[in-house]
Amino acid sequence: MELIKNPDRFGIDDPLVACWGDGPYHATVYCNNKAKVWGDPGRFASWDGMHMTEKAYNVIAEGVLKGPFANQPLLQNCSN
């Protein structure tokens, strides 16, 4: 939820808009020649409205490993 509530904290522009597709949220066209990539995928949380981008997966992984998405970050647990 933190990624959705505070996207700018993680370098995401609008977490509800996909990077690839068409329509107001860029997620209404299935894989065909009408769909297009909108800007830098590194600024989006969703690739096509269903799949997350590499950026979103990175934010989640870092949050679990280093905090704040785990109550004690995983790397801290493993080092003790």
3-state secondary structure at position 36: strand
> How far is 10 from 31, CA to CA, in rounded Å?
28
17-51 pLDDT, tens digit each: 999 888 889 887 666 777 788 999 999 999 988 89
Q: What is the pLDDT of residue 24?
A: 87
Q: What is the pLDDT of residue 1?
A: 87
Q: What is the pLDDT of residue 29?
A: 67
Q: What is the pLDDT of residue 55?
A: 96
Confidence at 54, pLDDT banded by 50, 70, 90: very high
> How far is 5 from 31, CA to CA, in rounded Å?
29
Nearest-Å Rg of the Cα atoms of the chain is 15
Q: Where are the domains positioned within the chain?
A: 2-78
| pTM metric for this prediction | 0.82
